[in-house]
């Protein structure tokens, strides 16, 4: 039986970033102690930027940077110098500011004209890094996610074909509302993680958070992320949590 999500409500956005950084450091040290490395998939969007900046501001010795492997859970189909690029945001906020070896950073080749080819190449990167046999899924130590007001997560949008994918690790997923492909981890990859941490902040996320955490059934993509052998933690600020019932508050 999958454990219910753990929900931690922080008084401010700064407290949320600090809580995220504390979790990241603890999980990284545990993973390196137990398995010699920490494989983490970063989220895109804007909320995580503050967390990445907080991690970049830590004393360098706070983390075993040379044993951390960075991936992206999803990427827009744009060049890496585009303001839309998740890699660009993570590079500017964190990866360019910490002593992580360049060979430990695995980005999507989102500049490829063919989004499917970019997805297949990234899928091969995962298979190689995790030394996967056919049919196996990677077990990330941590996957960071956000949720959109429509309940999407990574680039798995409500009604998109990618939600049905059960075999592939990474796909190009057509997003009707944006009229573009995005490259994204599939639900099986998200649900094989040891730890998934969602970050959500702001009043605009209050309705979706109530639906995701307290709504009946599981129809929204963010509700479908429930790792059966992993820990699911929602780090939210008071504004995003403002529509939750007192049991969560
Ligand atoms: C992306 C993200 C996406 C994001 C949500 C929430 O590529 O944009 O992967 O899933 O996490 O849209 O974004 P905010 O945290 O910026 O609201």
For the residues of the chain, what is the DSSP string, one character each? Answer: -PPPPEEEEESSHHHHHHHHHHHHHHHHHHHHHHHS-EEEEE--SSTHHHHHHHHHTS-GGGS-GGGEEEEESEEESS-TTSTT-HHHHHIIIIITTS---GGGB----TT-S-HHHHHHHHHHHHHHHTTPPTT-----SEEEEE--TTS-BTTB-TT-GGGG--S-SEEEEEEGGGTEEEEEE-HHHHTT-SEEEEEE-SGGGHHHHHHHHHSSS--SGGGS---TTSEEEEEEETTTTTTS-TTT-
pLDDT at 56 > cutoff 90: yes
For residue 248, the model assigns a pLDDT of 76
Residue 148 Cα to ligand 1 middle (Å):
6
Which residue has the least CA distance to atom 11 on ligand 1? 146
Q: What is the mean pLDDT of residues 35-61?
A: 97
Residue 225 Cα to ligand 1 middle (Å):
15
Residue 147 Cα to ligand 1 middle (Å):
6
- What pLDDT digit, counting tens, does each position of 106-121 carry? 999 999 999 999 999 9
pLDDT at 247 > cutoff 90: no
Taking the CA of residue 156 as reference, the ligand 1 atom at the shortest distance is: 10
pLDDT-based confidence at residue 208 (cuts at 50, 70, 90) = very high
- What pLDDT digit, counting tens, does each position of 150-203 carry? 999 999 999 999 999 999 999 999 999 999 999 999 999 999 999 999 999 999
Judged by average pLDDT, the poorest of 61-70, 119-128, 240-249 is 240-249
Residue 199 Cα to ligand 1 middle (Å):
9
pLDDT-based confidence at residue 206 (cuts at 50, 70, 90) = very high
Residue 200 Cα to ligand 1 middle (Å):
9
Give residues (CB < 6 A) around ligand 1: 43-47, 74, 86, 146-148, 152-155
- What pLDDT digit, counting tens, does each position of 71-105 carry? 999 999 999 999 999 999 999 999 999 999 999 99
pLDDT-based confidence at residue 4 (cuts at 50, 70, 90) = confident
Which residue has the least CA distance to atom 13 on ligand 1? 45
For residue 226, the model assigns a pLDDT of 96
């Amino acid at each position: 039986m999958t454990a219910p999500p753990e929900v931690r409500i922080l008084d401010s956005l700064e407290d949320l970033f600090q809580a995220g950084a504390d979790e990241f450091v603890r999980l990284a040290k545990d993973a390196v102690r137990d398995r010699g490395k920490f494989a983490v998939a970063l989220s895109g969007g804007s909320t995580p930027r503050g967390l990445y900046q907080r991690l970049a501001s830590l004393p360098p010795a706070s983390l075993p940077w040379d044993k951390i492997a960075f991936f992206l859970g999803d990427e827009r189909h744009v060049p890496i110098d585009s303001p839309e690029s998740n890699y660009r945001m993570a590079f500017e906020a964190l990866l360019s500011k910490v002593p992580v070896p360049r060979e430990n950073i695995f980005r999507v080749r989102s500049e490829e004209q063919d989004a499917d080819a970019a997805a297949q190449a990234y899928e091969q990167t995962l298979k190689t890094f995790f030394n996967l046999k056919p049919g196996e899924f990677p077990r990330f130590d941590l996957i960071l996610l956000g949720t959109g007001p429509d309940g999407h997560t990574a680039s798995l949008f409500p009604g998109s074909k990618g939600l049905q994918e059960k075999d592939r690790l990474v796909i190009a997923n057509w997003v009707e509302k944006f009229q573009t492909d995005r490259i994204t981890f599939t639900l099986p990859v998200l649900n094989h993680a040891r730890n998934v941490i969602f970050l959500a902040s702001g009043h605009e996320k209050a309705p979706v958070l109530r639906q995701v955490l307290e709504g009946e059934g599981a129809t929204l993509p963010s509700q479908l992320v429930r790792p059966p052998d992993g820990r699911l933690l929602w780090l939210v600020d008071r504004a995003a949590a403002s529509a939750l019932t007192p049991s969560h508050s």
